[in-house]
Amino acid sequence: MPAFPKAAHDAVNNPTLRGNLRHATHTIRDKRAAAVAELDDWAQLREAGKQIKDHTLRHLDRYLVQLEESVTAAGGTVHWAADADEANRIVADLVKATGETEVVKVKSMATQEIGLNEALEAEGIAAYETDLAELIVQLGKDRPSHILVPAIHRNRGEIRDIFAREMSEWGRAAPVGLTDNPADLADAARLHLRDKFLRAKVGVSGANFMVAETGTLVVVESEGNGRMCLTLPETLISVVGIEKVVPTWRDLEVFLQTLPRSSTAERMNPYTSMWTGTSEDDGPSDFHLVLLDNGRTDTLADEVGRQALRCIRCSACLNVCPVYERAGGHAYGSVYPGPIGAILSPQLRGTQSEVDASLPYASSLCGACYDVCPVAIDIPEVLVHLRERIAQGGPVTREGNKAVLKPAKGHAAERAAMRAARWAFGRPGALRAGQRLASRTRKLHPRTLPGPGKAWSATRDLPPVPAEPFRDWWQRTDGGKKSDGDKKTDGVRKTDGVTKDGK
Amino acid sequence: MSSRDRILGRVRRALADVPPDDTSYEQAVDRSYLRVHGDLDVEQTVDLLAENLADYRAIVRRCTEDELARTIAAMLAARGAATVLAPPGLDPAWLSATDVVQVPDRADSTPHDLDRIDSVVTACAVAIAETGTIVLDAGPGQGRRRVTLVPDHHICVVRVPDQVVSSLPEALERLDPTRPSTWISGPSATSDIELDRVEGVHGPRTLEVVLVSDPPGVAA
Ligand code: SF4
């Protein structure tokens, strides 16, 4: 896997990809702002979401044990997986115990993260993705590029070609003379997948939320493929990251309001399924929950970085990120692209690899991701923290053990930073947003650059960051014609996302 | 050591820097967000439900209790349905005016059996006006989760105003977490191909919601 700057460079030079991405991110971004503006209490919902998640993380052991008890009492079986290999082995063994050789899958980041499909394939089990976008990705022997719309890098013509060429390999062939009309393409997928749903005996899913108090799992989706996989098979296996637990049933009232609006910009997504263990004669008679660590407890051990575990995977931060928009999801080299990927992947996987070490630099620090995040993750803060960790070294936790990370060798990190800087300076819009952030956090700025810039600033004096970016001052005062007023800028961060008047 | 103990041990060590905190959960979270958005009376709330359902391309009809059987019969006829699934506990009066063949929901029917059924008529547990959502919880007249999924046409009857709430928090309070639930906001949809919205990839492509008022005429 090439490091971010190289991978991004390739994407930036692919005009089709950039066109598709730009259209997608801007469309979703604008719709999201409108959906969020409908709720007068967005700021309060966002704060409550943050507090619920922080409280849960702070007492994660307690809530996991409670969840286990609730799920077990409701007729489910709970398994614990410390890493990807263990999770894959548990799932493979459960599938084998049913005697089946194929499973239908609901789109899930956790199972992508652990490479479940490949692991099952190695055991002779075929895993069929059933989300339309995931189907496109799977048939195209491709990788997802966006959390919400994984095939967003493909246009309708490419999708038509993939369907016409590949569907027969996997099951029901595409109809002859298939056009590139989205409705026809969706129809071809419907027929192809219906065959699989109706005969499936084992379903595999993730979950958006797990309620400790009741043992309820929640899956939020649009197409109904989730409902098919969650209710038609006899056995259901859900692989879920331990950070997805929330304490109470009532907590869902916060996230079911913020997630759809942040994600697809809808008041509510078309389908949400909730189930608690097993129910007689309704849905799978056998339910297994695999609780996945795979680097999450290591992330939890980092005081600054642990806030990344609040993420509810809405993908809003991807759609506002100027770097994601140009680089595309594949450049991030992980299933978590965009700003959240830039802070989550290096924490889940460690920073040994070149791509993971370069990810914290895949940002202009403009702060737009923080502004839209429905659980108020301060992504820029974590990015700066991780840069510092990579460049200067320091304490980290890997697989539960404390270790000290050595400073990055050579100049790899520095080069990455300089490339990112060059990128930002070539783009006034991004630079301007970056300056805003710099102003807002001015008090915290060191006189030497943290991280990879240290060597550079060691021999130079850093200019102090002005209290307000020049452009903002110019605009506010109409080029100095109006009074300067008493604008407060020091250390002021917006505490809410987009509110009704767009402030 | 089991993985369970390993993970719980890692969690505890990871949190070693966090000062102990005995704040109760009730106090730990500031719930100053609104319980309901806007200040609508009962009739306006029902109107909002109808509007939001339609916005997500559900077909919404309104009628009174005594018009219901005829309304449903007309919908099935317009659809050209040959068979309709009736879940246990569905008020038999609802299907009393149609001559479409009624199929009972049986535990041993296979997904393939369901796939051959044209339409399904169900009740609901609660409907949420602010989001245009109907919630089914497998209660009487709602059937197993799969019956509203496999057939291509779903008619859902909502009693107004008593089954309508304004907001999501109000809906959660009415639901029992031990029952499986399905929340439906418009028909199945995808925007995966160039963000073009296409209805019905997997679930029913047509969702018709009947808002039935009793006594006659109140919200009609
Ligand atoms: S970091 Fe925030 S904005 Fe980004 S996907 Fe996660 S919850 Fe959404």
Q: pLDDT by residue (tens digit) across A102-126?
A: 999 998 999 999 999 999 999 999 9
Tell me, what's the pLDDT at A332? 87
Task: Kindly tell me if the per-residue pLDDT of A484 is higher than 50.
Answer: no
Tell me, what's the pLDDT at A407? 86
Sequence-distant (6+) residues with CB within 8 A of A41 are B32, B33, B34, B37
- CA of A232: how far to CAs of A78, A283, B168, in Å? 21, 6, 27
Tell me, what's the pLDDT at A479? 52
In chain B, pLDDT over 70 holds for what percent of residues? 97
* Neighbouring C-beta atoms of residue A405, cutoff 10 Å: 16
Tell me, what's the pLDDT at A146? 80
Nearest CA in chain A to B131: A267
Q: Given phi > 0 = left and psi -120 to 50 = alpha, else beta, which region is A189?
A: alpha
Predicted TM-score (pTM) of the model is: 0.86
Task: Kindly tell me if the per-residue pLDDT of A488 is higher than 70.
Answer: no
Are residues B190 and A222, on separate chains, in Cβ contact within 8 Å? yes
The closest alpha carbon to A220, from A329, A315, A344, belongs to: A315
* C-alpha of residue A295 to centroid of ligand 1, in Å: 18
Q: Is the CB of A374 under 6 A from ligand 1?
A: yes
Tens-digit pLDDT profile for residues A448-482: 433 334 443 343 434 444 445 444 544 555 555 55
Q: How large is the angle between the packed helices A60-73 and B3-14, nearest 10 degrees?
A: 150
Which of A259, A263, A315, A319 to mutate for ligand 1's pocket (most ligand atoms within 8 Å of CB)?
Answer: A315
Q: Are A338 and A318 in contact (CB under 8 A)?
A: yes
Tell me, what's the pLDDT at A439? 41
Tokens of A358: 């370069």
Task: Mark A301-324 as b/e (b = at least 16 C-beta within 10 Å).
Answer: bbeebbbbbbbbbbbbbbbbbbbb
Alpha helices in A264-400 (DSSP H): 296-300, 316-320, 322-327, 338-349, 354-358, 368-372, 379-392
Tokens of A381: 């803060």
Q: Are A45 and A254 in contact (CB under 8 A)?
A: yes
Contacts of B21 in chain A (CB under 8 A): 58
* C-alpha of residue A370 to centroid of ligand 1, in Å: 8
Paired with B206 in beta bridges are B153
Give ipTM to 2 decimals.
0.95
How far does the CA of residue A63 sit from the closest CA of chain B (Å)?
A: 10
Are residues B189 and A254, on separate chains, in Cβ contact within 8 Å? no
* Ligand 1 nearest-atom number relative to CA A376: 2
Sequence-distant (6+) residues with CB within 8 A of A213 are A66, A70, A247, A248, A249, B177
Q: Are A277 and A74 in contact (CB under 8 A)?
A: yes
Q: Are A291 and A240 in contact (CB under 8 A)?
A: yes
Strands (E) in chain B, as ranges, are: 59-64, 83-86, 101-104, 119-122, 126-128, 133-136, 153-160, 164-165, 181-184, 189-190, 198-199, 206-213
CA distance B34 to A181: 42
Tell me, what's the pLDDT at A458? 40
* Ligand 1 nearest-atom number relative to CA A308: 1
CA distance A144 to A153: 9
Cβ-based contacts under 8 A for chains A and B: 245
Task: Mark A33-66 as b/e (b = at least 16 C-beta within 10 Å).
Answer: bebbbebebbbbbbbbbbbbbbbbbbbbbebbeb
Tens-digit pLDDT profile for residues A36-47: 999 999 999 999
Q: Are A53 and A189 in contact (CB under 8 A)?
A: no
Q: How confident is the model at residue A417 (pLDDT cuts 50, 70, 90)?
A: low
Q: What is the torsion angle, in degrees rounded to the nearest 10, for the CA atoms of residue B163, residue A256, residue A132 and residue A330?
A: 170
Q: Are B165 and B129 in contact (CB under 8 A)?
A: yes
* Ligand 1 nearest-atom number relative to CA A262: 8
Residue A468 in 3-state DSSP? coil
CA distance A96 to A278: 21
Tell me, what's the pLDDT at B190? 82
CA distance A491 to B89: 61
Q: Is the CB of A244 under 6 A from ligand 1?
A: no
Residue nearest to atom 2 of ligand 1 (CA): A373
Tell me, what's the pLDDT at A431? 45
CA distance A22 to A19: 5
- The chain-wide mean pLDDT, for chain B, equals 93
Q: How confident is the model at residue B219 (pLDDT cuts 50, 70, 90)?
A: very low
Are residues A151 and B192, on separate chains, in Cβ contact within 8 Å? yes
φ, ψ for residue A464, nearest 5 deg: -65, 145
Q: Is the CB of A372 under 6 A from ligand 1?
A: yes
Which among A26-30, A212-216, A280-284, A329-333 has the top mean pLDDT?
A212-216
Q: How confident is the model at residue B215 (pLDDT cuts 50, 70, 90)?
A: low
Q: Is the CB of A377 under 6 A from ligand 1?
A: yes
CA distance B124 to B137: 7
Tens-digit pLDDT profile for residues A310-340: 999 999 999 999 988 888 888 888 889 999 9
Task: Kindly tell me if the per-residue pLDDT of A426 is higher than 80.
Answer: no
* C-alpha of residue A481 to centroid of ligand 1, in Å: 40
Contacts of A186 in chain B (CB under 8 A): 190, 193, 198, 200-201
CA angle B133/B138/B139 to nearest 5° reads 100
Tokens of B126: 């609660």
Q: Is the CB of A260 under 6 A from ligand 1?
A: no
